[in-house]
């Protein structure tokens, strides 16, 4: 819902959502326009999907079935459905066992996401968790090394990415949140040679995925 949207209709929607236990997130118009994907939203967007989510154990089970160390992508607040769909497609192509997203500050698996993923959503497990940081703690307890993809870290091509690994991809424009970054085992960065110091979230995710694949081949 648009921040400051306090008219009678907005108040009614908020009350109904709270009564039904539906989480509400206030955001600026730019974020809302992006999530609406060009559709008219009138200050409010609701997500409903018949997509079947899994949990952390469901993703780990896929790795066990393949007899492979877990390889997981964690999204820290991706809001653009096109970025999310692209990340799902790259993840499926790269052999990722599953993607973890939060229930808040994150676009759900919508029709647009499924369309952009071009079939990947049918084959890739997605765990939707209450708290991304709690999910990271759970993965670390299960022996998974968790790394944030962000600026100022170790060159990803020099890092040891063998074994069980999860890569955290941050939100558009904001990157990985401070608390999440501190919780990770390390920060990995993609080398930059131009004047712009960051990549689109879906591009960064794809490059991170294939850096892991190349490490496994060595």
pLDDT higher at 160 or 9: 160
CB atoms within 10 A of CB 82: 18
Q: Which of 75, 132, 133, 81 minimizes the C-alpha distance to 108?
A: 81
Which residues have C-beta within 8 Å of that of residue 109, sequence separation ≥ 6?
49, 51, 53, 84, 121, 126
- What is the mean predicted confidence (pLDDT) over 153-164? 94
Is 173 inside a domain boundary?
yes
* pLDDT classification of 217: cutoffs 50, 70, 90: low
Domain of residue 28: give its range. 1-46
Angle of the 81-93 helix axis to the 201-217 helix axis, nearest 10: 10
30 and 78 housed in the same domain: no
136 and 194 housed in the same domain: yes
pLDDT in tens, 102-153: 988 889 998 889 999 999 999 999 999 999 999 999 999 999 999 999 988 9
104 and 1 housed in the same domain: no
pLDDT at 111: 87
Is 51 inside a domain boundary?
no
pLDDT in tens, 51-90: 889 999 999 999 999 999 999 999 999 989 999 999 999 9
Into how many domains does the chain fold? Answer: 2
39 and 60 housed in the same domain: no
Is 187 inside a domain boundary?
yes
37 and 114 housed in the same domain: no
42 and 22 housed in the same domain: yes
Residue listed under structure tokens 């997605």: 126
pLDDT higher at 41 or 119: 119
């Amino acid at each position: 819902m648009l921040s400051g949207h306090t008219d009678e209709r907005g108040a009614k929607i908020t009350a109904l959502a709270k009564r039904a236990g539906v989480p509400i997130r206030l955001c600026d118009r730019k974020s809302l326009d992006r999530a609406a994907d060009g559709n008219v939203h009138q200050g409010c967007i609701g997500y409903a999907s018949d997509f079947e989510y899994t949990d952390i154990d469901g993703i780990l089970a896929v790795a066990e079935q393949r007899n492979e160390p877990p390889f997981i992508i964690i999204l820290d607040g991706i809001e653009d459905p096109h970025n999310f769909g692209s990340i799902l497609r790259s993840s499926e192509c790269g052999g990722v066992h599953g993607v973890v997203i939060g229930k808040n500050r994150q676009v759900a698996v919508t029709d647009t996401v499924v369309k952009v993923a071009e079939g990947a959503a049918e084959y890739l497990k997605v765990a939707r968790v209450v708290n991304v940081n709690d999910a990271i703690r759970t993965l670390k307890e299960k022996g998974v090394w968790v790394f944030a993809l962000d600026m100022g870290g170790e060159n990803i091509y020099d890092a040891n990415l063998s074994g069980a690994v999860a890569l955290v991809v941050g939100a558009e424009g904001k990157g990985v949140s401070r608390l999440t970054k501190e919780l990770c085992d390390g920060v990995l960065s993609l080398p930059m040679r131009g004047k712009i110091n960051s990549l689109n979230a879906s591009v960064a995710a794809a490059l991170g995925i294939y850096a892991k694949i190349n490490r496994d081949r060595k």
